[in-house]
């Protein structure tokens, strides 16, 4: 589980709820069912109008991934590719086909390498997979970005509806205060959803995508390196550039022959 995401959203909501209770003991004044219907219903409707249904559902599934899965570690993949370099040197490229890989992308790359496929073919094929993943992830991120835009807009729309209703009852001054409070609640709902949920999730998914793409690029370059040279240090130098210098493990770890 990614505890940073979980702690972030829980602490954000807790601080807002705490501020509400600190300023007022009556929490019910922040509950307005029509306002909730306008913001949530309008945001969902606009999102479905903007994106295909399958893309919207994929985005909702990705939202759970943010909390359920730990982020990928490029350094761990570098270590894996260096281990595969040792196997290729000792047993030949054919032995790579017998490696049990959890990643389908890595499994495919090793399969092409063991078949002695052309280096350019492997690079282009794996790059096409990476580009396809970028596009799919971009759409998922864009769903939450758009929701982060739509929610405040519908919140403002709800506020305008409330103000119109309030102005229609100006003959009763006692209703102005409560009516104004209800009108502003939809703006509160829209801003809350955008700043605490939608935009942070979009940002987290973007960060996850960057790490995943980096990991796939390590697999791509590592596989190509296996074809061109099985020299442990050469592969290490090529792949270690993907991580900051202070995070790199020494080349001697895992040792070459």
221, part of any domain: no
pLDDT bucket at 254, cuts 50 / 70 / 90: very low
Q: Report yes or no on 184 lying in a domain.
A: yes
Query: E strand or H helix at 15, and its extent?
Result: helix 3-23
Kindly report the number of other CB atoms within 10 A of residue 80's CB atom.
20
**In a domain? residue 48:** yes
Residue 35 clears pLDDT 50, i.e. is over it: yes
Mean pLDDT of 7-21: 81
Give 195's pLDDT tier (boundaries 50, 70, 90): very high
Question: How many independent structural domains does the chain possess?
Answer: 1
Q: What is the pLDDT of residues 39-90, one digit of tens each?
A: 999 999 999 999 999 999 998 888 887 777 667 788 889 888 888 888 888 8
**Phi-psi category of residue 231: left, alpha or beta, with phi > 0 → left and psi -120 to 50 → alpha:** beta
Model confidence pLDDT, tens digit, residues 197-252: 999 999 989 988 998 999 999 999 988 888 876 678 888 888 888 888 777 777 66
Residue 40 DSSP label: I
What's the CA gap between 171 and 182, in Å, rounded? 18
Question: Does any domain span residue 224?
Answer: no
By residue range, what is the domain housing residue 15? Answer: 3-72+127-206
Tens of pLDDT along 135-184? 999 999 999 999 999 999 999 999 998 888 888 777 777 777 777 777 88
181, part of any domain: yes
Residue 186: inside a domain = yes
Other C-beta atoms closer than 10 Å to the C-beta of 38 total: 22
pLDDT at residue 193 in the model:
94
Percent of the chain with pLDDT over 70: 93
Give the pTM. 0.81
> Residue length, the chain?
257
Tell whether 256 is covered by a domain: no
Whether residue 216 lies inside any domain: the answer is no
Of the candidate ranges 26-35, 105-114, 223-232, 234-243, the one whose mean pLDDT is the lowest: 223-232
Residue 217 near residue 127 (C-beta atoms within 8 A): no
């Amino acid at each position: 589980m990614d505890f940073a995401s979980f702690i972030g959203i829980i602490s954000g909501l807790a601080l807002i709820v705490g501020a509400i209770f600190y300023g007022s003991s009556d929490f019910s004044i922040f509950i307005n069912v029509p306002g909730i219907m306008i913001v949530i219903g309008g945001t969902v409707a606009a999102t479905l109008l903007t994106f295909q249904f399958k893309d919207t559902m994929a985005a909702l599934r990705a939202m759970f991934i943010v909390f359920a899965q730990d982020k990928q570690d490029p350094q761990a993949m570098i270590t894996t590719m260096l281990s595969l370099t040792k196997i290729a040197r000792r047993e030949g490229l054919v032995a790579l086909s017998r490696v049990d890989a959890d990643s389908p992308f890595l499994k495919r790359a090793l399969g092409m390498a063991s078949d002695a496929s052309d280096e350019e073919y492997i690079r282009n094929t794996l790059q096409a997979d990476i580009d396809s993943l970028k596009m799919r992830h971009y759409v998922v991120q864009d769903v939450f970005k758009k929701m982060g835009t739509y929610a405040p807009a519908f919140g403002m729309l709800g506020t305008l509806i409330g103000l119109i209703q309030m102005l229609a009852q100006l003959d009763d001054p006692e209703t102005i205060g409560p009516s104004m409070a209800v009108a502003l609640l939809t703006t509160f709902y829209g801003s809350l959803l955008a700043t605490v949920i939608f935009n942070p999730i979009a940002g987290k998914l973007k960060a996850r995508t960057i790490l995943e793409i980096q990991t796939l690029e390590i697999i791509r370059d590592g596989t190509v390196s296996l074809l061109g040279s099985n020299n442990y240090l050469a592969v290490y130098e090529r792949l270690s550039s993907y991580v900051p210098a202070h995070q790199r493990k020494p080349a001697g770890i895992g040792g070459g022959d």
